Chain A
Amino acid sequence: MTAQHTQVIHVQGLEKSYKTLQVLRGVDFDVARGGIFALLGSNGAGKTTVVRILSTLLKADAGTASVNGFDVATQAADVRESISLTGQFAAVDEILSGRENLVLVARLRHLKNPGAIADDLLERFSLTEAGARKVSTYSGGMRRRLDIAMSLIGDPPVIFLDEPTTGLDPQARIEVWQAVKELAGQGTTVLLTTQYLDEAEQLADRIAILHQGRIIVNGTLAELKRLLPPAKVEYVEKQPTLEDVFLALIGTDGKNGEPAMTATPAPTSKEQR
C-alpha cells in the first residue's frame, strides 16, 4: 500500500488509442474510499476503456493508474485481489443456475463455505426462489442483480460497474439502483459508468464527466450544479412522467410482487432551472 490511503483509485495522464482512434487523451481523476463515483459520458467517450484498464484487462499506452494502492500495470495480480468487475453485458453463466454461478465465483475466490455465501447473497438480492433455476430463464433485471451479487463475493474493496442499467426496463433499473446503494452502504467503493444523467444524479456522491478522452469536470452534484447560472424559482405543477405512470400502473418494483417504493407520482411544486 502506498501513502495515498484515502485515494482508493488514482488515475493520472491515462492515454489509449485503438489504431488511429485516440480514445483517452490524458485522463486524470481520483476516487476517495467509500461511496459511489460516477463516470458520466456519452457512447464512445471511453468509459469502458477506463474501466478495462483499471481492471487489468487492457494496458494503457501512457500514464499511470493504481487501485487500492497497487499499480495496474506492474501489480496486476494484487489489483485483481482488490476489485470486482461487472461488465457492460451481464457476465453470468446462462447454463448454470443462479446459485451455481455464485458458488462458482466463491470457489474461484478460494473462500470457505461457498454454498453458505451463495445462499446469503441469493437472499440479499431477492433471488432465493429463482436460485435453483437456470440463468437463461431470468429476466434482464434478475440477471443484473445476480451479476452484481457475483461481484460482491469475497468483499473486494473496489467494485467497477460498467453501465449497469443499459438495456434494462424501468423496473429492473430501480432494482439495480437499490442493489448498488446497498453495496455502497457497506463501505465498498463503487466506480460506476453511465450514459444516463439521472442515474448519476440518483446514485453518485461524486460525478466526473468524460468527454472526448478527457475529464472535463469532476465534483459533487451540488458543485456541478454551481457551474451553471443559479437556479431561478418557478412554480409549476409537476406532471407525472411516463415512467411514474408506468410504474404506478404495474404497481410493483418487480420483486416478489411487493408494492413499488419509488413509483408514487407526486403532484407538487418543483424547482425549475
Chain B
Amino acid sequence: MTKHFFGDTAVLLGRSLRHITRSVDTIITTAITPIVMLLLFVYVFGGAINTGSVSYVNYLLPGILLITVASGIAYTAFRLFMDMKSGIFERFQSMPIARSSVLWGHVLTSLVANVISLVVVVLAAVLMGFRSGAGVPAWLAVAGILILFTLALTWLAVIAGLSAKSVDGASAFSYPLIFLPFLSSAFVPTATMPGPVRAFAEHQPVTSIVNAIRNLYAQQPVGTDIWFALAWCAGILIVAYIFAMNSYRRKIS
C-alpha cells in the first residue's frame, strides 16, 4: 500500500486545494483578522507603546504572522472533521490507498493555505510601512521557521479534527493559540510585564519564535532565540504528530 503513498497524497492534496479555491473566503477571513489587528495596533495603540528605535509595525509583524497561522489551522480541523462526518472518510478508508495519505493531504493543504494567507498579511504590512533590509538568506530563514510552526500547529489541528464531537469543537481549540501571542513579546516588550506574567511570557514558545523572526528581519544577531524557536516548533510537531497518528489509528482500526 505504501508504494502509492506519494501519488495518493498528491491526489488528496489536489482535492482539498480544490475545496479552498471554491471557498476562497477561508483564506480571506484567515488573513483579514490579522490585518485588522495590524491596523488597530499600528494606528491606534501603537503610538502609546514604546518599542525603542524600531517602528511599531516592524515590531508587531512577527507576532501577527503567528496569529495568522493559529487562526488558519482552525479550517484544517474543520475540513478534517467534515470529511469524517460526511462518510467520505470511510470511503477512503475502505479503498486500497495508503491510509495515512488521507491525513497528509489535509496537512499539506493547510501548509499551502497558510502560506498564501501569510503572504497576504506581509503585503498588507508593507503597505502600512513595514520595511526590512533582510537579504534572501534571512527571508528564507523566516519562511523556514513559519513553515515549521505551521506544520506543528497543523498536526495539533489534526488531533482536534479527529477527536471533535461537533463542528464548533473542531475549531474552538485554536482560540487559546490565537491569544498566546498576547502573553509574549509579540505586542509589547516583556520587560514591562509584572513578575509572574513576565516569567511565563519569556518562557513560552511564541516569544522565542517572535524574537527570532524580528531579529532576522532587523538584520540583528538572532542569538539563542532561533534555536529555542526551532526546538519548540520541532518539539510540538513531533509530539502532536505522534498523538495525531495514534488517534488516527484508533479511528481506523
Interface residues of A (CB under 8 A from B): 55-57, 59, 77, 80-81, 83-85, 87-96, 100, 104-105, 107-110, 134, 150
Contacts and interface: CB of A to CB of B under 8 A. Distances in A.
A95 B95 contact: no
Contacts of A96: 15, 18-19
B52 interface: no
- Most B-side CB within 10 Å, residue of A55, A83, A108, A109: A108
Nearest to A104: B15
A78 B5 CA distance: 16
Contact of B90 (A57, A104, A109): A57
Contacts of A108: 8, 11-12, 92, 95, 97
Interface string B1-17: 10010011001100100
Contact of A95 (B7, B22, B252): B22
Interface string B60-99: 0000000000000000000000000011101111111100
Given A83-B94, A85-B94, A91-B91, A107 B86 contact: no
A145 to B, nearest CB: 15
B91 A150 contact: yes
Contacts of A134: 22
B18 A100 contact: yes
A139 B22 CA distance: 21
Closest 6 pairs between A and B when the two form their complex, measured CB to CB: A91-B87, A91-B91, A85-B94, A55-B94, A81-B96, A89-B87
Contact of A87 (B4, B15, B91, B97): B91
Contacts of A110: 4, 7
Interface residues of B, number: 24
A16 to B, nearest CB: 13
Interface in B1-41: 1, 4, 7-8, 11-12, 15, 18-19, 22-23
A80 B15 contact: no
A87 B88 CA distance: 9
B253 interface: yes
Contacts of B18: 95-96, 100
Given A55-B94, A91-B90, A96-B18, 5 more contacts: A56-B94, A87-B87, A92-B86, A95-B22, A108-B92
A146 to B, nearest CB: 12
Nearest to B83: A93
Contacts of B95: 80, 84, 105, 108-109
Nearest to B79: A95
Contact of B253 (A59, A95, A104): A59
16 contacts: A55-B94, A57-B94, A57-B252, A59-B253, A80-B94, A84-B94, A85-B90, A88-B87, A91-B86, A91-B87, A92-B86, A95-B18, A107-B11, A110-B7, A134-B22, A150-B91
Contacts of B11: 104, 107-108
- Most A-side CB within 10 Å, residue of B4, B94, B97: B94
Contacts of A84: 94-95
B113 to A, nearest CB: 14
A93 B7 contact: no
